[in-house]
């Protein structure tokens, strides 16, 4: 039986090497841009900011710059960016960078047109879960990494104190997204791996989520296949544009998976880790917990794990279903080796091993909803154990 589904993805996506130049001919959704970039140096160093502002100049769009976004982006910067947009009369947001920048751009777009505090609209943790009264500013998302899929989904994940919580609805899709693999060749090896695994887990979680449907499943399997094949190449040959293209494409369709299906509790746990320990990159949190996370589902969703093993290139013919399911765990470990992240663990980033239960509780309190999408309910003990094994 097929799960019923509704498909809605209103972002216009320009994909391909050089796609940023499409902004020269595209009808832009505003007259003045708030350009949002990270506090890091790469957007300036690699000339991406100049490229963007050059294009804006060519098409006669003035802009203001907000350049403070952190790798695990925080609410204070959302509020500050929104205040700048309001003060300077920006009527669209152009976010240039990785997932944290684009997510922040979306959240800034919400707060630029709405009253109160961003956490008024967040569900989970101390968020008030109020409806957003006004339409956010339009967002142009230009992704320079292949990791979050945020260019093809409505989600934005922001941290407030120790609460790192995802938010999104029909109004928070980008209006226009640019996925240009030429802007990704400068991503360093470890970040390429972290981001690529993030895209992998959007696909695998979307595949095992209870709300998966034929559309999301097809995209999940394709993304898993492409990441299994091309991520090690992109990690080990950063200038290989073909590998960058395939990983970028896999990441974008993994974004569709997040839109049409959803992540599961693996993301709740990873967000809790980075919420409490902002130095843990999102992808690194996921990589660290991934083996123990999927092991917890062995014997419960073996048919699905077997299909994902096949997508990672395992020949499962002749195997029993439980053997095939276990082969997914082995294939995951092997992919980690190929990408040089097999030794990664949470203590590398200063996570206190005694905090496993505290992290698990945070995951339930902030993004408990994703646990409901697991096909097997994880107990508090099991969740704590997954985190402990990642230390």
99/136 with CB nearer Zn ion: 99
Q: Which residues pair with 164 in a beta bridge?
A: 159
Q: Which stretch binds Zn ion (CB under 5 A): 122-130, 197-205, 236-244, 250-258?
A: 197-205
Q: Which stretch binds Zn ion (CB under 5 A): 39-47, 48-56, 193-201, 306-314?
A: 193-201
Which pair of structure tokens corresponds to residue 111? 């707060």
User: How many amino acids of this chain bind Zn ion (CB under 5 A)?
Assistant: 1
Would you say 203 and 258 are in contact if contact means Cβ atoms under 8 Å apart?
A: no
> What are the distances in angstroms from CA 16 to CA 19, 169, 198, 249, 255?
5, 27, 21, 9, 16
- Between CA 202 and CA 221 the distance in angstroms is 11
Q: Which stretch binds Zn ion (CB under 5 A): 4-12, 112-120, 192-200, 339-347?
A: 192-200
Q: Judging by beta carbons within 10 Å of its beta carbon (0-12, 13-18, 19+), is residue 124 exposed, middle or buried?
A: buried
- 153 forms part of the interface with Zn ion (CB under 5 A): no
Shortest Å distance, C-beta 38 to Zn ion: 17
Shortest Å distance, C-beta 154 to Zn ion: 14
Query: What are the residue ranges of helices labelled H in the chain?
Result: 42-45, 48-58, 75-88, 99-111, 189-208, 214-236, 241-260, 265-276, 282-295, 302-311, 321-338, 356-367, 380-389
Q: Which residue is nearest to Zn ion (CB)?
A: 198
Q: Which stretch binds Zn ion (CB under 5 A): 115-123, 194-202, 316-324, 356-364?
A: 194-202
Shortest Å distance, C-beta 262 to Zn ion: 12
- Count of Cβ atoms closer than 10 Å to residue 185 Cβ: 18
198/374 with CB nearer Zn ion: 198
Shortest Å distance, C-beta 228 to Zn ion: 18
**Angle CA 148–149–151, to nearest 5:** 120
198/225 with CB nearer Zn ion: 198
Shortest Å distance, C-beta 190 to Zn ion: 16
CB burial of 217-256 (b: ≥16 within 10 Å; e: otherwise) equals bebbbbbbbbbbbbbbbbbeebebbebbbbbbbbbbbbbb
Q: Which stretch binds Zn ion (CB under 5 A): 3-11, 77-85, 115-123, 190-198?
A: 190-198
Would you say 140 and 174 are in contact if contact means Cβ atoms under 8 Å apart?
A: yes
Shortest Å distance, C-beta 165 to Zn ion: 13
- 198 forms part of the interface with Zn ion (CB under 5 A): yes
Shortest Å distance, C-beta 285 to Zn ion: 9
29/125 with CB nearer Zn ion: 125
- 258 forms part of the interface with Zn ion (CB under 5 A): no
Where on the chain is the footprint of Zn ion (CB under 5 A)?
Answer: 198
């Amino acid at each position: 039986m097929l799960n019923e589904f509704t498909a809605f993805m209103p972002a216009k996506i320009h994909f391909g090497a050089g796609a940023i130049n499409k902004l020269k001919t595209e009808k832009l959704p505003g007259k003045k841009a708030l350009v949002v970039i990270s506090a890091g140096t790469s957007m300036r160093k690699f000339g991406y900011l100049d490229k963007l502002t050059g294009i804006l100049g060519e098409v006669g769009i003035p802009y203001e710059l907000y350049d403070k976004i952190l790798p695990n982006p925080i609410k204070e910067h959302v509020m500050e960016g929104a205040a700048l947009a309001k003060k300077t009369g920006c009527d669209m947001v152009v976010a240039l960078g990785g997932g944290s920048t684009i997510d922040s751009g979306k959240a800034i777009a919400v707060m630029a047109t709405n009253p109160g505090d961003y956490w008024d609209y967040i569900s989970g943790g101390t968020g008030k879960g109020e409806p957003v009264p006004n339409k956010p500013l339009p967002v142009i998302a230009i992704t320079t990494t292949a990791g979050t899929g945020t260019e093809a989904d409505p989600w934005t994940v922001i941290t407030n104190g120790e609460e790192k919580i995802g938010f999104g609805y029909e109004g928070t899709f980008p209006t226009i997204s640019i996925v240009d693999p030429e802007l990704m060749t400068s991503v360093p090896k470890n970040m390429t791996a972290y981001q690529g695994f993030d895209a992998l887990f959007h696909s695998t979680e979307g595949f095992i989520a209870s709300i998966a449907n034929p559309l999301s499943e097809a995209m999940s399997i394709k993304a898993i296949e492409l990441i299994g094949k091309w991520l090690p190449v992109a990690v080990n040959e950063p200038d290989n544009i073909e590998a960058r293209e395939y990983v970028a494409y896999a990441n974008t369709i993994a974004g569709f998976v997040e839109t049409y299906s959803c992540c599961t509790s693996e993301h709740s746990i990873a967000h809790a880790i980075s919420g409490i320990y902002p130095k843990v990159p999102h992808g690194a949190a996921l990589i660290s917990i991934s083996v123990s996370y999927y092991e917890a589902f062995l014997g419960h969703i073996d048919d699905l794990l077997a299909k994902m093993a096949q997508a990672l290139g395992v020949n499962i013919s002749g195997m029993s279903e439980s053997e095939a399911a276990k082969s997914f765990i082995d294939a995951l470990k092997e992919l980690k080796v190929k990408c040089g992240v097999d030794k990664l663990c949470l203590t590398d980033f200063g996570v206190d091993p005694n905090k496993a239960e505290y992290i698990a509780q945070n995951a339930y309190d902030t993004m408990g909803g994703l646990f409901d999408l697991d096909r097997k309910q994880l107990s508090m003990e099991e969740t704590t154990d997954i985190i402990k094994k990642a230390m």
